[in-house]
């Protein structure tokens, strides 16, 4: 089955650019995510992390 797929992909011209594009998209996404995590304000992170606990307390009351 893999041999059939490989032969089919070899017949498509210009297909070698798609893995490179997908690698660049994922790399860019994770670099931006990494940057956001280290530059996020601590009070924002604490407030957002307490949201599930606040909703649980409201449902009990």
pLDDT tens-digit series, residues 11-29: 888 888 988 999 999 999 9
- Determine the average pLDDT of the residues in 3-10: 75
**25, 46, 51, 53, 54 from 59: Cα distances, Å:** 41, 21, 13, 10, 9
pLDDT of residue 3: 75
pLDDT at 59 (0 to 100): 61
Angle at 22 between CA 19 and CA 26, to 5 degrees: 140
pLDDT band at 53 (very low <50, low <70, confident <90, very high): confident
Q: What is the pLDDT of residue 11?
A: 80
Percent of the chain residues topping a pLDDT of 90: 31
- Alpha-carbon Rg for the chain, nearest whole angstrom, is 22
């Amino acid at each position: 089955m893999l041999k059939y797929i490989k032969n089919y992909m070899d017949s498509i011209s210009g297909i070698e650019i798609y893995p490179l594009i997908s690698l660049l998209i994922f790399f860019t996404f994770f670099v931006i995510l990494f940057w956001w995590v280290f530059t996020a304000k601590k009070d924002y992170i604490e407030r957002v992390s307490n949201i599930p606990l606040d909703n649980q307390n409201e449902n009990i009351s």
